[in-house]
Amino acid sequence: MCGIIGYTGKDIAVPILLGGLERLEYRGYDSAGVALLEGDKLFIKKRAGKIRELVRSLWGKPLKGKTGIGHVRWATHGEPTEDNAHPHTDSKGEFAVVHNGIIENYLEIRKELEEEGIKLSSDTDTEVIAHLISKFYKGDLLEAVLEAVKRLSGAFAFAVISSKEPGRIVGVKEGSPLIVGIGEGENFLASDIPAILPYTKKIIPLNDGEVADVSPEGVNIYDFSGNPITKEIMIVPWDLISAEKGGFKHFMLKEIYEQPKAVGDTLKGFVSKESVLPIDLREFRRLIIVACGTSYHAALIGKVWIERFVNIPVEVIYASEFKYGHTPLSPDDIVMGISQSGETADTKFSLQSVKEKGVKTIALVNVVGSSIDRESDFSIYTHAGPEIGVAATKTFSAQLAALYSLAAFYSMEREALFKKVSSVPMKIEKALEGAEHIEVISEKYMKAKDFLYLGRYLNYPVALEGALKLKEISYIHAEGYPAGEMKHGPIALIDENMPVVCVAPKDRVYEKMLSNIEEVRARKGKVISIGFEGDGTLKELSTEFIEVPSVEEELTPFTTTLPTQLIAYFIASKLGLDVDQPRNLAKTVTVE
């Protein structure tokens, strides 16, 4: 949902901004732009399209400015044109703003500005910020920003520079993510850590309602009333290599192959712990999990584990449906938000609404210091490292590792369960050895118009996740369904053109799955099955058979997920699509 970066320091800003934007491009990629302080003037360049268009447009330009801001956009208000690309300026071109989020009352402000004779030049909600700051400017950028912020409602983060105050950047956070990076004689602002990782690991994540006044000499943080705030510096545990492709064609493929490590590291984070939370999960009447997309699918699997091993009821609700719903809550309930980014607006706002009712919250996030992490009463973490591909892969497996560990931890069989799961990273590695075979199968079916994904019990969410992966990166319509529900309607869709991915490891519902597969065969559907190695019966029933190593039934999602990720990856890649940055999507969804 848009990425922003700011740099002020001893070096020429433009390469730092462009490099940072490239690492933020996963957040939005329909247009990009930079604003630089060149002497006492603002230089602005923006382009519709991917960041390479912006880079090309800057070739050969003798830019020397050492302060600047940059933006990659995921359009909310206004088409992805050059006019609507950020940065946006005031009428005199003295203030430039880059923004992530939505200014909900922008129409009202726009009308007011127009009545005052100001001509706006874009359809965006952002432009009003630049005009407001210009209007309130009386010689101090910070004061003008604080005044402008009083007029804004919505969820937003923005950064502003002015030709009137070289070397200074002011950044504001209210609802969308913004971090400050602390360097030597240089400082940064960014939507996310990878943007500034080559320069510093020292960061200060801003909270909502905070403003950072950034110059090469230092950073001061204030609340929206202008009161100074003291904040601690955090050291990021990631290195730059983990945010680069490392020889793989796409981030997604690299991240698929990083799953043994992501799972292993996440498990390690739990196994040695005396307590994983400062509360006992078993003392609560009910656990509610709110999440979106892939994190929601991980939650569905977590529900089965927690109900089975801890014996407390778990409800899983889409975060986008929860906040405006009527789920009764009591202090005996506890609500967990799962989010790899820790910034997803739907999840964050759901947890905030829960806290307002006095109910305790737990975050399960991959990004330490993210908004959801900071705002929750308790946090647990996945240790997947940065995930850049828009399609979540290694963070999903890491979420499974965390949820399994949580269930194991509060179970009577703690030690036995931890012992069982310890072999999973190796089993994942083994499952990845099947990639070549999966590539061949993917090529055969890449022209299909629709796919069905079927599974039962723990592998029903795996089917949902497989379908989501295929949809989001290959643009092929795919439905995930509980295999037993198929006969209640979707079976009507099956004919000889329909590939049906059937997730059928040998678990308690294996026989039932075989019957469901027979039903697909009877309608001439093409059965692509995922099952345990050496399963001759399943192989016999299938048009294509993909083997994964056999594991105990509760561990099956760790291995059965991999072929579904690889099918999506190979199909999208063979169709020549942009696997890491699929159309219309953004990695971090910071709007409701």
**587 included as an active-site residue:** yes
Q: How far apart are CA 235 and CA 396, in angstroms?
A: 25
Q: Are strands 31-38 and 3-8 parallel, antiparallel or unpaired?
A: unpaired
Three-state secondary structure call for residue 419: helix
Q: How far apart are CA 30 and CA 27, in angstroms?
A: 10
Q: Is 238 exposed, middle or buried (0-12, 13-18, 19+ CB in 10 A)?
A: middle
What's the DSSP call for residue 542? Answer: -
Tokens 């079976």 locate to: 491
Inter-residue contact 151 to 136 (CB < 8 Å): no
Task: Count other Cβ atoms within 10 Å, centred on residue 93.
Answer: 15
Cα angle: 456, vertex 460, 465; to 5 degrees? 160
Among residues 488, 491, 492, 464, the alpha carbon closest in space to that of 478 is found at 464
Inter-residue contact 577 to 470 (CB < 8 Å): no
Shortest CB 469 distance to ligand M6R, Å: 6
Task: Count other Cβ atoms within 10 Å, centred on residue 484.
Answer: 17
Tokens 């696997």 locate to: 579
Q: How far apart are CA 275 and CA 507, in angstroms?
A: 31
Tokens 């801890």 locate to: 310
List CB contacts of 354: < 8 A, sequence separation 6 or more: 329, 335, 361
Among residues 261, 244, 271, 338, the alpha carbon closest in space to that of 300 is found at 338
**292 included as an active-site residue:** no
Inter-residue contact 426 to 416 (CB < 8 Å): no
Inter-residue contact 504 to 560 (CB < 8 Å): no
Q: What is the binding site for ligand M6R (CB under 6 A)?
A: 292-295, 339-341, 344, 347, 390-392, 468, 472, 585, 588-589
Catalytic residues: 2, 587
